[in-house]
């Protein structure tokens, strides 16, 4: 297929103009779960409002230019290490924390993540569509690599769906066909797939967006207004009901409530690609073309305008086309300024993308070969309970490797065996199994470094990853007076039916104020150093540091602090306990050691 440059440029600009318009329209109502009738900006803006929908795509493009191709979960995951500060809501906070303790994608989107089905990935889809225009399979593959850094399952499928729809919109303008193409990339076992079936069926029968909305909320309830099943269902509903009108599509998405800046931005982008001329000046004139990033985006060298960003994106798309050898050819432009991009990192990218959804593995390195560590099911190690790990090494370069590998762990940790030799021909793969155990571990930190000491073709080098460890709680059954130790392998866990007291100790590096996210599906009272600081009533459960009624602040003493949770008589339920900074949306604090 051949794309004329002017047509391609017009659609890319339409994509981001539509996204900016929709995001600005929906922003004032973000998080409001009520319905309304929206016909225009309210209030009318004087500039584009900053939004993570666009922020993270700009970060991703700069990362690609700096690190080169292929698009990889390893490199796009650097968002969480280098480019976001003081604002880490929901899955972003989990991803930042997981990357900082040494876990990479796709595990970084799974471990301790109650927001794996959030909207944070779906809102990043347009970049991949514009880099792979009229190639929904490749765009969805890029989206999968991106979304798995902070999501799994529905959160990944949502971004794949949108990237495929938006990519196909470069060559297809029939909304029904676009929706069909997008749905083909959603796992049929997923909640999102079944919700889409329901949206289409209910719309066909009811022809009433608010009636269909109510049906979705009743069947797929969530306390989380950024839930992807609800919000992407609203995107689909807005497309079905819009009568091919840009105005009606973005206004419907906003009128339905919930994550309105994201849903309206998404349908705006889709229409902007399909028909850039559909966006009236009444929408674009108030917001202008200036590129405005959120304050929490750091270490960026962003473009000044949306137009400049789109130019850099289009110039990058030529490199994508050449590297992936796609059948879609974009006409070369002699007026478009070239971009500087790092040389490709590997010849064989197909092996990079060969991972299964929800696989508990972490991509440790891409060079000089792919190195994946496959964790046990629980991920966090429980002391004195040996667990088996697998290390998979894949040669993706056109040369042979032979070498030795030695595993090194901290004191009291052991890996058996710890020495391996390997001979990797071009395209070959090898897997090593080893057992890790730790004994007499009094202090529990999350970042326990596993060093991979290689000597390959007589060149020594070291890679590092981490092995999280369980957090201990002393449990007292207040009915039987039985005392046990519970090893929590995540930040959330089930508390059985009955009346209990859970205790743990937390070591701080200095006296500090913290924000505690605590919540659950059963009542509790939280004590810090003997003082009651929070009472949970099981009325609202969204475990995050910035939502109403789900967090509290407390002061920790230098060195040891006692954390106690009293659970009154009640049925079985889930409990979440996380600690973060006190400002912004709060960043998880991973430096607090735990012990009994």
pLDDT per residue as tens digits for the range 72-108: 999 999 999 999 888 889 999 999 999 999 999 999 9
Residue 23: pLDDT over 90 = yes
pLDDT value of position 439: 93
Name the strand (E) or helix (H) holding 310: helix 306-324
Q: Are strands 2-3 and 329-330 parallel, antiparallel or unpaired?
A: parallel
User: pLDDT band at 186, cuts 50/70/90?
Assistant: very high
pLDDT value of position 38: 96
Q: What CATH number corresponds to the domain at position 34?
A: 1.10.4080.10
Question: Are 268 and 397 in the same domain?
Answer: no
pLDDT value of position 133: 98
In tens, the pLDDT along 475-489 reads 999 999 999 999 999
Whole-structure pTM value: 0.96
- Tokens linked to 351: 């092996």
Among 278, 307, 330, the domain-final residue is 330
Question: Are 478 and 450 in the same domain?
Answer: no
The mean per-residue pLDDT over the stretch 570-592 comes to: 93
Please, what sign has the CA dihedral across residues 146, 70, 266, 207? negative
Range of the domain at 260: 2-330
369 class by beta-carbon count within 10 Å (0-12 exposed, 13-18 middle, 19+ buried): buried
Residue 190 within any structural domain of the chain: yes
pLDDT value of position 314: 98
Among 413, 447, 466, the domain-final residue is 466
Residue 589 backbone phi and psi in degrees, to 5: -100, 115
Among 466, 485, 512, the domain-final residue is 466
Of 70 and 298, more confident: 70
In tens, the pLDDT along 292-334 reads 888 888 888 778 899 999 999 999 999 999 999 999 999 999 8
pLDDT value of position 41: 96
pLDDT value of position 84: 87
User: pLDDT band at 243, cuts 50/70/90?
Assistant: very high
Which of 263-267, 424-428, 537-541: highest mean pLDDT? Answer: 263-267
Based on the structure, what is the number of domains in the chain? 3
Name the strand (E) or helix (H) holding 97: helix 90-100
User: pLDDT band at 565, cuts 50/70/90?
Assistant: very high
The mean per-residue pLDDT over the stretch 257-272 comes to: 97
Question: Are 248 and 369 in the same domain?
Answer: no
Query: What is the Cα–Cα distance from 457 to 210, expressed in whole angstroms?
Result: 65
pLDDT value of position 297: 86
DSSP letters of 47-114?
Answer: SPPP-HHHHHHHHHHHHHHHH-SSP-HHHHTTHHHHSB-S---HHHHHHHHHHHTT--TBGGGTTT-T
* Cβ count within 10 A of residue 105: 28
């Amino acid at each position: 297929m051949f794309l004329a440059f002017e047509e391609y440029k017009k659609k890319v600009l339409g994509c981001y103009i539509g996204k900016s318009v929709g995001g600005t329209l929906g922003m004032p109502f973000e998080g409001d779960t009520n319905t309304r009738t929206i016909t225009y900006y309210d209030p009318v803006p004087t500039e584009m409002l900053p939004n993570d929908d666009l922020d993270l795509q700009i970060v991703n493009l700069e990362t690609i230019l700096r690190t080169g191709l292929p698009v990889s979960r390893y490199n796009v995951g650097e968002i969480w290490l280098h480019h976001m500060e003081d604002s880490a809501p929901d899955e972003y906070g989990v991803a930042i924390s997981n990357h900082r303790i040494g876990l990479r994608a796709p595990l970084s989107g799974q471990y301790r993540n109650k927001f794996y089905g959030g909207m944070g990935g779906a809102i990043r889809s347009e970049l991949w569509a514009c880099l792979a225009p009229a190639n929904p399979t490749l765009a969805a593959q890029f989206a999968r690599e991106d979304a798995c850094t902070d999501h799994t399952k529905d959160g990944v499928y949502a971004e794949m769906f949108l990237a495929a729809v938006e990519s196909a919109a470069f060559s297809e303008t029939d909304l029904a066909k676009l929706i069909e193409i997008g749905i083909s990339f959603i796992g049929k076992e997923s909640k999102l797939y079944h919700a889409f079936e329901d949206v289409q069926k209910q719309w066909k029968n009811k022809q009433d967006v608010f009636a269909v909305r109510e049906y979705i909320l009743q069947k797929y309830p969530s306390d989380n207004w950024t839930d992807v099943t609800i919000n992407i269902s609203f995107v689909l509903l807005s497309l079905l009901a819009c009568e091919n009108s840009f105005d009606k599509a973005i206004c419907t998405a906003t009128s339905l409530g919930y994550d309105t800046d994201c849903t309206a931005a998404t349908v705006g982008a889709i229409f902007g690609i399909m028909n850039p001329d559909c966006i009236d000046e009444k929408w674009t004139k108030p917001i202008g073309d200036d590129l405005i990033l959120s304050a929490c985006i750091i270490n960026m060298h962003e473009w000044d305008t949306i137009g400049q960003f789109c130019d850099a994106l289009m110039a990058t798309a030529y490199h994508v086309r050449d590297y992936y050898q796609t059948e879609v050819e974009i006409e070369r432009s002699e007026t478009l300024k070239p971009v500087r991009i790092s040389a490709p990192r590997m010849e064989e990218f197909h092996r990079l993308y060969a991972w299964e959804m929800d696989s508990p593995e972490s991509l440790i390195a891409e060079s000089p070969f792919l190195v994946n560590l496959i964790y046990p099911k629980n991920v966090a190690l429980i002391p004195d309970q040996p667990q088996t790990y697998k290390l998979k090494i894949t040669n993706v370069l056109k040369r042979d490797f032979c070498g030795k590998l030695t595993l090194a762990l901290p004191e009291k940790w052991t890996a058996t065996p710890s020495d391996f030799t390997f001979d990797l021909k071009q395209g070959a793969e090898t897997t090593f199994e080893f057992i890790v155990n730790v004994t007499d571990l009094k202090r529990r930190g999350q970042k326990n470094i596993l060093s991979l000491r290689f000597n390959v073709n007589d060149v020594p080098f070291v890679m590092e990853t981490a092995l999280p460890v369980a957090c201990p709680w002393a449990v007292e059954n207040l009915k039987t007076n039985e005392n046990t130790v519970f090893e929590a392998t995540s930040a959330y866990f089930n508390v059985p039916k009955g009346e209990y007291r859970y205790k743990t100790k937390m070591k701080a590096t200095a006296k500090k104020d913290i924000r505690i996210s605590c919540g659950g599906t059963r009542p509790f009272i939280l004590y810090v150093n003997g003082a009651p600081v929070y009472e949970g009533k099981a009325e609202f459960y969204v475990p995050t540091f910035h939502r109403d009624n789900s967090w509290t602040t407390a002061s920790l003493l230098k060195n040891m602090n006692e954390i106690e949770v009293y659970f009154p008589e009640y049925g079985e339920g889930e409990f979440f306990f996380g600690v973060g900074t006190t400002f912004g949306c709060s960043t998880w604090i991973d430096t607090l050691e735990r012990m009994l």
